[in-house]
Amino acid sequence: MKRVLTVVLISILILAVTAFVTIMIALSGFRYLLPNVAPVRLVDRHYESANEPLSELAITLRNRPVNIRMDQGNTIRLSWNETEFEPVQVQENGGTLSVDTRENTSWRARFGWLLGYALRPMDVTIPSTFKGRIDLYTSNGPVTLDSLDLDGPVSIRSTNGGITVQDLTVTAGLELTTSNGAIQANNVKAESAFLVTSNGRIQVERLLARDLSLKTSNGPIHCAAVSGDSIRLETSNGRIRGTIQGRAGDFTITSQTSNGTNSLEDLSGQGAKTLAVKTSNGDIEIDFSGESLPSGNPQPAASLLMAG
């Protein structure tokens, strides 16, 4: 019996030492296994567009956050860093400014994070004269849009990263799509707005769109001062809370939940606007700004965004 116990303890010790050594080698960038590998060199890059009018900004990146904002300049300006293994290509053609990460299948490009370097966010500054289209895709990093006034549609797509927009006006449509990340929108106006994520919350305040859809799964939806002619709020395994601009009588309401309370269950209406709210395993708590709050629910609209 003692011999068996001794063998087990020795085996556990060997496994522990092996795991520790493996982790240390990985954290060192495998330099002990790859002594001839030179350290990765990060290079700062900058780009400024020509003064010719641009109608579209198209960005496709990997493993990098992106920040977009507007100022009073006359050109689009980009600032980022890169390695020789993941160069970023920028070109202008036919009114479109394209930013693209060249596909690289080398082990250093795919597993560069093991070498201990990190790509900083790409900062994009758009002039106030730009009113065109923005089409952005990135992965494994958050996206932020701040203080933009655009005529063209805006499409932001990400994976494994959150999306935050604030002080945004879009004459056309707005699409925010991600997975495994939250979506936050504050002070946004658009002709249509579609916010979709999975495994993350959606949190909006002062969002105005004629056609509005907020959809997630395994996460809550919190909204305050939301306005629209057609509003759809949908999640699963999460609750939906918030305030809608107007009165309940302005809307034709459909709502459904399971394993939760529903403040809209006795409301249907025949209003010209539509409101559809659906969840499962969560409560529905919707108030209307044009009506007094029901007794027992004195919570003001702004505080809904702070609730968990």
Q: Provide the phi-psi class of 187: left if phi over 0, else alpha when psi is between -120 and 50, else beta.
A: left
Scan for tokens 């289209």, then name that residue.
133
- Checking if the pLDDT of 6 tops 80, the result is no
Best CA proximity match to 158, nearest among 174, 188, 189, 180: 180
Q: What is the reported pLDDT for 295?
A: 35
Task: With cut-offs at 50, 70 and 90, classify the pLDDT of residue 1.
Answer: low
- Checking if the pLDDT of 124 tops 60, the result is yes
Q: What is the reported pLDDT for 269?
A: 73
- Give how far Cα 283 sits from Cα of 38, 103, 222, 286, Å: 56, 45, 12, 10
φ, ψ dihedrals at 213, nearest 5°:
-140, 125
Size of the chain in residues: 308
Residue bearing the bigger pLDDT, 123 or 87 = 123
Ranges of each domain in the chain: 1-37, 38-140, 142-308
Digit-coded pLDDT (tens) for 235-294: 999 999 999 999 999 999 999 998 899 999 888 778 899 999 999 999 999 999 976 444
Give the range among 19-23, 54-58, 250-254 with minimum mean pLDDT.
Answer: 19-23
* pLDDT, mean of residues 123-133: 92
- Give how far Cα 257 sits from Cα of 88, 204, 221, 243, 265, Å: 47, 21, 14, 18, 9
Looking only at the bridges linking them, the beta strands covering 66-71 and 202-215 are: unpaired
Whole-model pTM: value is 0.79
What six digits make up the tokens of 139? 């992965």
* pLDDT, mean of residues 110-137: 79
- Checking if the pLDDT of 150 tops 70, the result is yes
Residue bearing the bigger pLDDT, 206 or 30 = 206
Q: What is the reported pLDDT for 165?
A: 97
Task: With cut-offs at 50, 70 and 90, classify the pLDDT of residue 131.
Answer: confident
What six digits make up the tokens of 189? 């106006």
**DSSP characters over 154-184:** EEEEEESS-EEEEEEEEEEEEEEE-SSS-EE
Digit-coded pLDDT (tens) for 199-250: 999 999 999 999 999 999 999 999 999 999 999 999 999 999 999 999 999 9
**How many Cβ atoms sit within 10 Å of the Cβ of residue 300?**
10
Residue bearing the bigger pLDDT, 297 or 167 = 167
Scan for tokens 């939806």, then name that residue.
221
Residue bearing the bigger pLDDT, 12 or 115 = 12
Q: What is the reported pLDDT for 86?
A: 80
Q: What is the reported pLDDT for 35?
A: 47
Residue 154: Cβ-neighbour burial (10 angstroms; 0-12, 13-18, 19+): buried
